[in-house]
Amino acid sequence: MKRLDVATKIEVSHHRSKTTLDNYTQYFPAVMVYGLNLAGVKGKHNFKDRTIIYVTSQLISAAIVTPAKSITAEERPDRSNKKSFPSGHATTAFSTAHFMYREYRDDNLLLSFSGYPFAIFTSVYRVFNDKHWVTDVVAGAGVGILSTELAYWLYPKFSSFINVKNKKSNSIVVPYYQSQKFGLSYQLSF
């Protein structure tokens, strides 16, 4: 894998074309989902459910990427720090592209795939900008897609806690005082 990384770095250095667009294109698919919704193109979920799924996928990916960067301590190709593996930009780009795919795949397959070119662009330019090795962006893509899949899998399991409209449930907020500190306790019974 290291040989592939080094060989790619050498090849890319001959054709380097730096840009900062990769800092923004990672978010384009998610922006497209919400923009399309404003334009009247409905996705699989309503605004609230879609937002919960999106935020969940981003939290899962951050919970994987952040510690992984510290644990692996892989030096970046430009030697700026030791937080190269996995690529956070690629993770975000592919998680947002997969989010778009999951929202539109049932109604418009072509539209559902339109986020992936942005994810690929983001990942390629992380390598071109000498910020990541090829293996970093491949791992980031995998983490991003898996994070979004996990968010979609988890959502029905915990949505019952969020959507308690027609269910018999009781909740109570109780103030308390302990060791010269005030606080609130919340209890939900269902």
Q: Is the pLDDT of residue 124 over 80?
A: yes
Could you tell me the two tokens for 54? 């999106």
pLDDT digits (tens, 9 = 90+) for 128-180: 888 888 999 999 999 999 999 999 999 988 877 666 555 565 667 667 667 77
The verdict on whether omega for the bond into residue 156 sits within 30 degrees of 0, i.e. cis, is no
Q: How many of the other CB atoms lie within 10 Å of CB of 8?
A: 15
Could you tell me the two tokens for 116? 């992936």
Mean pLDDT of the chain: 86
Tell which wins on pLDDT, 126 or 183: 126
What lies within 8 Å, CB to CB, of 125 at 6+ separation is 19, 21, 22, 25
What lies within 8 Å, CB to CB, of 127 at 6+ separation is 8, 9, 12, 133, 134, 137
What lies within 8 Å, CB to CB, of 138 at 6+ separation is 90
pTM greater than 0.85 (yes/no): no
Mean pLDDT of the region 80-107: 95
State the pLDDT at residue 122: 95
Q: Note the helical H segments in 81-133.
A: 88-104, 109-113, 116-128
Mean pLDDT of the region 21-33: 93
